[in-house]
């Protein structure tokens, strides 16, 4: 039966494919397709690991049998029996075999998929004791997975060719079967794994439009919907799904008519993109002759080629924290960071690269396992520059690495979430200290331009202080909106109040642009507002000349720039800022 689940649109476009349900904790296993000739060895990997775990348990049982009854809690003996029973249950292995043989999933992916199916069967059990055995099943699967990590797959292939469907085909025979991921939640670090995987779209139960998870999804330029409450419970493994990333809707089990309609929309979107790509080499100049800088936001050095392909004239925001995530406490040292920053600089082939110092905390935990549950309001807590200043050794390591990368090209350093003059002064003296350390060690480094992010209202209201110390400012509208309106950007329950057009937000943005322009200092917007084509004209009218966004948005924004006359937009833009109801003055209102 066809039904729809509504959420929040994150990344545009239509994806049509089969659902892969994912427990969030299991996103970090590898997902790739194997070759048909690898089927046997993949199944063997699961069997070998399963047998090894069975062996382990047998050994443990033997050790226990040698101990006295007082030394061994009775629950442990019973627990081991349950684990053995689950391990030897043929449903587990036969399910895994199905995913490997019929879908060519790699062994880990097949195991976690089967785990998800069995977990749901446990959830549906009426008997409380049996329901509780789900935790045992997860432990058993976890142990098999750990074993498999030591038994590598013969060939690891990410992004391998997709297969043609074998089952009840609703789609045209000639079409490949893309897969879409449905999860309760995905952290920004999960999304990084996702970036190299095979999925053509994703839907989550929770999350806001401007959560960091959503931002990474947008950078991948695949259709995505977040905040689709209940999605992961309503969908079954392998259901046909349509994701409409423009409308923020997921359609489950679509009828042939609906499929045909969305297939048409999908092809239309591809044609539109094809047309836009012709603008790649066109300079971004408004009708009245203003040259507009369109920069890219990136998460990893390997994103640089995509930025160049999209026609970016530099990187306006390299979110360096993604180098630090999912490392289970082993942060990258100076050399590793230096190499990563250098790769981004080299990758941009002489164009400027703005590296933001680490911004972890709130919805960007270093590790999924250490989500900040200790603090009531993590977004107001030890995040970004506050985190860096609280750990000077870590911060100095990063500062040295960035300064060293600056010897290889034009590097700007951007400091996130500053609010206090004392934070600015501490940051500046640590940068001086990092330079002195490199001098003492005789290591080369280059000149940098130093910028501050304006993302806390306090900063936007004390621009004089910022302009005294910094070469340029970059407006982080994602956080500026969050902190001005007191709306958690990752909470879908208040997403309707997260409003870039709130007069207070517009005032802060407008005054930051005005002050910088008046003093001849560079100013850009690097939050999501910069990549939103419905806001391009407004920002141009307010005097903004530098926009930094996901590479996927650059050409669409360029199209708006080419059609805009900024001098004619100025008076209207001021009216919008002064209005009680700015949205009513926007085109199409």
Q: What is the binding site for Mg ion (CB under 5 A)? A: 455, 476, 479
From the list 116, 138, 455, 560, which residue makes contact with ligand PEP (rule: CB under 6 A)?
455
Please, what is the minimum distance in Å from the beta carbon of residue 7 to ligand PEP?
A: 20
Q: Is 211 in the site for ligand PEP (CB under 6 A)?
A: no
Active site residues: 212, 526
* Residues 6 or more apart whose Cβ sits within 8 Å of residue 358: 320, 321, 324, 384, 387, 388, 394, 395, 398
Residues 501-540 that bind ligand PEP (CB under 6 A): 526-527
Kindly tell me which of 180 and 295 has the beta carbon lying closer to ligand PEP.
295
Among ligand PEP, Mg ion, none, the one that 116 touches (CB under a kind-dependent 5 to 8 A) is none
Q: Is 359 in the site for ligand PEP (CB under 6 A)?
A: yes
Among Mg ion, ligand PEP, none, the one that 526 touches (CB under a kind-dependent 5 to 8 A) is ligand PEP
Among Mg ion, ligand PEP, none, the one that 314 touches (CB under a kind-dependent 5 to 8 A) is none
Q: How many CB atoms lie within 10 A of CB 343?
A: 16
Among ligand PEP, Mg ion, none, the one that 400 touches (CB under a kind-dependent 5 to 8 A) is none
Q: What is the rounded CA–CA span in Å between residue 557 and residue 282?
A: 12
The helix (H) or strand (E) run that includes residue 515 is helix 503-519
- CA distance readout (Å), 50 to 42, 57, 77, 80: 12, 11, 20, 14
Q: What is the per-residue DSSP string for 229-294?
A: TTHHHH--TT-EEEEETTTTEEEES--HHHHHHHHHHHHHHHHHHHHHGGGTTS--B-TT--B-EE
Contact 202, 20 (CB under 8 A): no
- 533 φ/ψ angles, rounded to the nearest 5 degrees: -60, -25
Among Mg ion, ligand PEP, none, the one that 477 touches (CB under a kind-dependent 5 to 8 A) is ligand PEP
Structure tokens belonging to residue 335? 């050399």
Kindly tell me which of 134 and 507 has the beta carbon lying closer to ligand PEP.
507
Residues 469-498 that bind ligand PEP (CB under 6 A): 476-479
Q: How many CB atoms lie within 10 A of CB 531?
A: 26
Q: What is the rounded CA–CA span in Å between residue 104 and residue 147?
A: 21
Kindly tell me which of 96 and 495 has the beta carbon lying closer to Mg ion.
495
Stretch 168-197: interaction string toward ligand PEP, x if CB under 6 A: ------------------------------
Among ligand PEP, Mg ion, none, the one that 319 touches (CB under a kind-dependent 5 to 8 A) is ligand PEP
Q: Is 319 in the site for ligand PEP (CB under 6 A)?
A: yes
Kindly tell me which of 201 and 451 has the beta carbon lying closer to Mg ion.
451
Q: Is 363 in the site for ligand PEP (CB under 6 A)?
A: no
Kindly tell me which of 357 and 478 has the beta carbon lying closer to ligand PEP.
478
Kindly tell me which of 32 and 472 has the beta carbon lying closer to Mg ion.
472
CA dihedral 269, 272, 273, 278 (to 10 degrees): 170
Q: How many CB atoms lie within 10 A of CB 1?
A: 5
Could you tell me the end-to-end alpha-carbon distance of the chain, in angstroms, rounded to an integer? Answer: 36
Q: Give a three-class secondary structure readout of 307-323.
A: HHHCCCCCEEEEEHHHH
Q: Is 254 in the site for ligand PEP (CB under 6 A)?
A: no
Q: What is the rounded CA–CA span in Å between residue 558 and residue 178?
A: 30
Binding residues for ligand PEP (CB under 6 A): 215, 317, 319, 359, 455, 476-479, 526-527
């Amino acid at each position: 039966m066809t039904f729809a689940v509504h959420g929040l649109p994150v990344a545009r476009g239509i994806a049509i494919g089969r659902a892969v349900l994912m427990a969030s904790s299991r996103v970090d296993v590898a997902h790739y397709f194997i070759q048909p000739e690898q089927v046997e060895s993949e199944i063997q990997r699961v069997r070998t690991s399963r047998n090894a775990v069975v062996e382990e348990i047998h050994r443990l049982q033997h050790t226990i049998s040698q101990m006295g009854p007082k030394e061994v809690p009775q629950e442990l003996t019973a627990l081991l029996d349950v684990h053995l029973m689950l391990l030897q249950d043929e449903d587990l292995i036969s399910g895994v075999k199905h995913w490997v043989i019929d879908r060519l999933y790699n062994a880990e992916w097949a195991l976690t998929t089967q785990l998800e199916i069995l977990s749901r069967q446990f959830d549906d059990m009426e008997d409380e004791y049996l329901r509780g055995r789900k935790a045992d099943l997860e432990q058993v699967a976890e142990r098999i997975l750990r074993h498999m990590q030591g038994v590598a797959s013969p060939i690891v292939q990410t992004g391998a060719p997709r297969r043609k469907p074998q089952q009840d085909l609703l789609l045209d025979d000639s079409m490949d079967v893309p897969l879409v991921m449905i999860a309760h939640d995905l952290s920004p670090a999960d999304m990084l794994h996702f970036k190299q995987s095979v999925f053509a779209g994703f839907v989550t139960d929770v999350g806001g439009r401007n959560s960091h998870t959503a931002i990474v999804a947008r950078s991948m330029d695949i259709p995505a919907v977040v905040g689709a409450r209940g999605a992961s419970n309503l969908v079954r493994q392998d259901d046909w799904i349509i994701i409409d990333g423009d409308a923020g809707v997921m359609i489950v089990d679509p009828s042939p008519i609906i499929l045909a309609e969305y297939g048409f929309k999908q092809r239309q979107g591809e044609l539109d993109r094809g047309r836009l790509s012709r603008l790649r080499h066109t300079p971004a100049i408004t009708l009245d002759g203003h040259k507009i800088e369109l920069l890219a936001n990136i998460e990893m050095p390997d994103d640089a080629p995509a930025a160049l392909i999209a026609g970016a004239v530099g990187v306006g925001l390299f979110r360096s924290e993604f180098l630090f995530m999912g490392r289970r406490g082993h942060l990258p040292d100076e050399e590793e960071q230096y190499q990563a920053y250098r790769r981004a600089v080299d990758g941009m082939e002489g164009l400027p690269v703005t590296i933001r110092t680490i911004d972890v905390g709130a919805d960007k935990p270093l590790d999924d396992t250490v989500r900040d549950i200790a603090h009531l309001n993590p977004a107001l807590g030890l995040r970004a520059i506050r985190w860096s200043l609280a750990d000077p050794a870590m911060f100095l390591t990063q500062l040295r690495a960035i300064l060293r990368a600056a010897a290889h090209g034009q590097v700007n350093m951007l400091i996130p979430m500053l609010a206090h003059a004392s934070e600015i002064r501490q940051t500046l003296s640590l940068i001086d200290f990092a330079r002195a350390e490199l001098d003492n060690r005789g290591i080369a480094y280059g000149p940098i331009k130093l910028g501050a992010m304006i993302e806390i209202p306090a900063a936007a209201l004390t621009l004089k202080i910022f302009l005294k110390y910094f070469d340029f400012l970059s407006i982080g509208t994602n956080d500026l909106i969050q902190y001005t309106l007191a709306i958690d950007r990752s909470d879908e329950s208040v997403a309707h109040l997260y409003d870039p057009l709130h007069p207070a937000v517009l005032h802060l943005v407008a005054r930051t642009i005005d002050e910088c322009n008046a003093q001849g200092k560079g100013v850009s917007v690097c939050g999501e507002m910069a990549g939103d084509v419905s806001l391009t004209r407004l920002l141009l009218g307010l005097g903004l000349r530098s926009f930094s966004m996901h590479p996927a948005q650059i050409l669409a924004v360029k199209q708006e720039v080419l059609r805009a006359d900024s001098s004619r937009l100025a008076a209207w833009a001021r009216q919008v800022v002064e209005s009680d109801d700015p949205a009513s003055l926007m085109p199409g209102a």
